[in-house]
Amino acid sequence: IMFERGEHISFANCGLPYYIGGVIKERDELLVQTAESMKSRFNIDVRVRSEVIKVDTDNKKVTVKSDSKGIYEETYDYLVLAPGAKAIKPGIPGINSNKIFTLRNIADMDAIKDYIDKKGVSSVVVAGGGFVGVEMAENLKLKGLNVVIVEAASHILAPFDSDIVVSVEKELVKNGVDLVLSDGVKEFVDTGNHIDVVLNSGKTLAADMVILSIGITPDTGFIKDSGIKLGPKGHIIVNEKMQTNIENIYAAGDAVEVTDFVTGLKTAVQLAGPANKQGRIAANNISGLNSVYRGAQGTAIIKVFGLTAAVTGANERALERAGIDFKKIFIHPSSHASYYPGALPMTLKLLFDDSGKVLGAQGVGYKGVDKRIDVIAAAIRFKGTVYDLADLELSYAPPYSSAKDPVNMAGYVAQNALTNKTNIITWDEVSKLNKDDYILLDVRTEGEFRRGHVEGAVNIPLNSLRDRADELDKSKIIIAYCKVGIRGYIAERILTQKGFKVFNVTGGYTEVERLR
């Protein structure tokens, strides 16, 4: 027996924003399974509009509130809990206005689309810059609406580090989506025709409607008195078999607390992939098969207009919270061989420890980001190292990649750093040094230098460096940079052989341009 509070089961919730935006044309495409198909195909008794409101673990019974049957009880041998998560609606004044919407299910999607179409909506404030908020902003903009994202944090998309997500923020602005960062919502004021969004800074944004996407919380209120253990934020605590503290009760999906595969800390991951795996593992164990869930690594991806951003493993903040030391490198490879038409640049960031173990990766670009992050995600899952990344044999033809794939290149750069072939430094680290202690050396061509450079840099093109090295002061540290890091590395090797103390800026001048 399956109970579902709403009208629909097994719908493509990740596709909801794209139906609102008109990218997905047919509503029925979002309905993966129905109650009827589950009955005919699997002989499962699906009861929609039936909400489980209580679990009696002592007597193995659930209390159900049904639109058709009223309140009744049903017994069970095994119970699987998959209640998911609901949108957070904080106690902000005006939060209950009928101009404020959340997006969780088909009914929410229908309500949003219906309101836009019937009310002649022209402006929307999206409160919250998570994945759903950003996807909604893109799709509302595609409908021709004026859209503002309001985010209380300093950047959107929390799983990404700030030095990667800035590219996403630029893409949003480039496509006409306004961003208000580091400023949360203080109050909503419904003026009749419009709704005013009053921010903590005192700024007021007028809009026709608001999409509230400031986060989600596990929908586990109905089991608080059941004896099933919950975590500090209300998530269901399970073991590696997805089993709760009650032997015959299992749980899966957005409502469960899991182990972070990289840090080992407890976390919650609201992603479709892990939820599907957890459901399969719970079913296996109920059926007598021995399956275990080894933790979540948070592999995620998002399309933002023409841009793709993807992440896997831990970000810098997660590693710092876990007390894990790490190193990082940036590379800016092409999506495929640069001489083949259509190659586009991407940025890859790799996090790893002193042993070379890969801890996390993030990527952003217009083509080929997905497969690079997926390859690194697989390496993380098998506890791979940067040496493994360098050694991977990946498919190559000019339209698809380079002979040294970006994943290989990330491995090479990290490997060089770990084996002391290069002294890597980031621009953030450079900014903390005393300017009197170093010389900033730009080894790009004179033309590149004229088009833009870091203030105070000395320009000696790489091809002239061997002959002009004596122009540099050996008593000072040399910090070399080029466009992406390769020429900077060669310059570092040349000057090191000549007795200089040299660092190479990872990511080069491209990082400066990207972060502006």
* Distances in whole angstroms, Cα of residue 338 to Cα of each of 100, 203, 341, 433, 511: 47, 46, 7, 36, 20
Same domain? For 242 and 346 the reply is no
Which of 400, 418, 436 terminates a domain? The answer is 418
Collapsing DSSP to helix, strand or coil, 137 comes out as: helix
Q: How many structural domains does the chain have?
A: 4
Same domain? For 316 and 263 the reply is no
Q: Which amino acid is at 293?
A: Y
Task: Kindly report the average pLDDT of the chain as a whole number.
Answer: 98
Same domain? For 209 and 324 the reply is no
* Distances in whole angstroms, Cα of residue 326 to Cα of each of 15, 293, 424: 36, 26, 13
Which of 418, 433, 452 terminates a domain? The answer is 418
Predicted local distance difference test score (pLDDT) of residue 194: 96
- Domain membership flag for residue 291: no
Same domain? For 127 and 190 the reply is yes
Cβ-contact 351, 373 below 8 angstroms: no
- Domain membership flag for residue 295: no
Report the C-alpha gap between 443 and 458 in whole angstroms: 8
**What CATH number does the domain containing 380 carry?**
3.50.50.60
Predicted local distance difference test score (pLDDT) of residue 449: 98
Same domain? For 401 and 429 the reply is no
Model confidence pLDDT, tens digit, residues 12-21: 999 999 999 9
Same domain? For 129 and 190 the reply is yes
Cβ-contact 421, 413 below 8 angstroms: no
Predicted local distance difference test score (pLDDT) of residue 285: 98
Annotation marks residue 482 as catalytic: no
Predicted local distance difference test score (pLDDT) of residue 322: 98
- Domain membership flag for residue 299: no
Same domain? For 371 and 402 the reply is yes
Model confidence pLDDT, tens digit, residues 118-139: 999 999 999 999 999 999 999 9
- Domain membership flag for residue 297: no
Predicted local distance difference test score (pLDDT) of residue 516: 81
**What CATH number does the domain containing 433 carry?**
3.40.250.10
- In this predicted structure, the answer to whether residue 241 has a pLDDT above a threshold of 90 is yes
* Distances in whole angstroms, Cα of residue 26 to Cα of each of 16, 22, 155: 11, 9, 34
Pairing label, strands 346-352, 358-365? antiparallel
Same domain? For 233 and 204 the reply is no
- Domain membership flag for residue 347: yes
- Domain membership flag for residue 294: no
Predicted local distance difference test score (pLDDT) of residue 253: 98
Model confidence pLDDT, tens digit, residues 154-163: 999 999 999 9
Which of 214, 246, 261 terminates a domain? The answer is 214
Report the C-alpha gap between 513 and 412 in whole angstroms: 24
- Domain membership flag for residue 9: yes
Average pLDDT over residues 89-97: 97
Percent residues over pLDDT 90 in the chain: 99
Strand partners, 471: none
Q: How confident is the model at residue 475 (pLDDT cuts 50, 70, 90)?
A: very high
pTM for this prediction? 0.95
Same domain? For 373 and 431 the reply is no
Q: Which amino acid is at 373?
A: I
Average pLDDT over residues 27-35: 95
Model confidence pLDDT, tens digit, residues 257-286: 999 999 999 999 999 999 999 999 999 999
Same domain? For 311 and 385 the reply is yes
Same domain? For 323 and 408 the reply is yes
Same domain? For 93 and 171 the reply is yes
Model confidence pLDDT, tens digit, residues 368-408: 999 999 999 999 999 999 999 999 999 999 999 999 999 99
Predicted local distance difference test score (pLDDT) of residue 178: 99
- Domain membership flag for residue 134: yes
Report the C-alpha gap between 348 and 365 in whole angstroms: 9
Model confidence pLDDT, tens digit, residues 403-444: 999 999 999 999 999 999 999 999 999 999 999 999 999 999
Question: Quick one: three-class SS letters along 78-125?
Answer: CEEECCCEEECCCCCCCCCCCCEECCCCHHHHHHHHHHHHHHCCCEEE
Catalytic residue of the set 1, 14, 71, 272: 14
Q: Which domain holds residue 247?
A: 2-82+223-286
Tokens of 422: 């290069």
